[in-house]
Amino acid sequence: MRFVESTILAYIAGFLDGDGSIFFQIVPRKDYRQKFQIRSSVAFYQKTEFAEILEWLKNIFGCGYIRHRKTGMSDYTIVDSKEVRRILLLLQPYVKLKKKQVELGLEILQKLEKCNSNAAFLNICKMTDKFKELNYSKKRTITCETVSKSLPL
């Protein structure tokens, strides 16, 4: 990624505040030691007719993917945890409405790097569950409680 001016980062942070989302989810992964993964995502949404702004964002960040949905909406999504961390750090000084999501997301990513036990992973799952309230999530079905039933401590 090239150097990005602070005014551009402030603009992108405003876009994220209004037409974006930051979310962390617990997803099943049979190939993982704990059988679950904490998936991090940053996404930006726009009507497909204005999707060039999403292409611009992808060009700036140099990662992620764009999907055009049949609903007339498009999204630009970044899921690689290292890239999510980098983007959250870049936007952190400018974000207003999603400040709590940025801070919690960065804390989760930091703890995941040092996670070395089932108990530590469950603690991270508890933190991940907080995104349900921060994002008004209705569909979240896999929670810390789900993970705790399958993990020996």
Looking at the domain assignment, is residue 49 inside a domain? Answer: yes
For the chain, what is the domain count?
Answer: 1
Residue in 14, 17, 19, 20 annotated catalytic: 19
Active-site annotation holds for 19: yes
pTM of the model: 0.92
List of residues 6+ apart from 95 with CB closer than 8 A: 13, 16, 17, 102
Q: What is the CATH number of the domain that holds 40?
A: 3.10.28.10
What is the domain extent for residue 135?
A: 6-147
Residue 152 lies in a domain: no
Q: Which of 14, 17, 18, 72 is catalytic?
A: 18
Does any domain span residue 1? no
The average confidence (pLDDT) of the chain is: 93
Domain presence at residue 60: yes
Cβ atoms of 42 and 65 closer than 8 Å: no
pLDDT of 141 strictly over 90? no
Identify whether 99 is part of a domain.
Answer: yes
Burial 92-122 (b: 16+ CB within 10 A, else e): bebbeebeebbebbbebbeebeebeebeebb
Does residue 101 form part of some domain? Answer: yes
* pLDDT tens digit sequence for 76-117: 999 999 999 999 999 999 999 999 999 999 999 999 999 989
Q: 67 lies in a domain?
A: yes
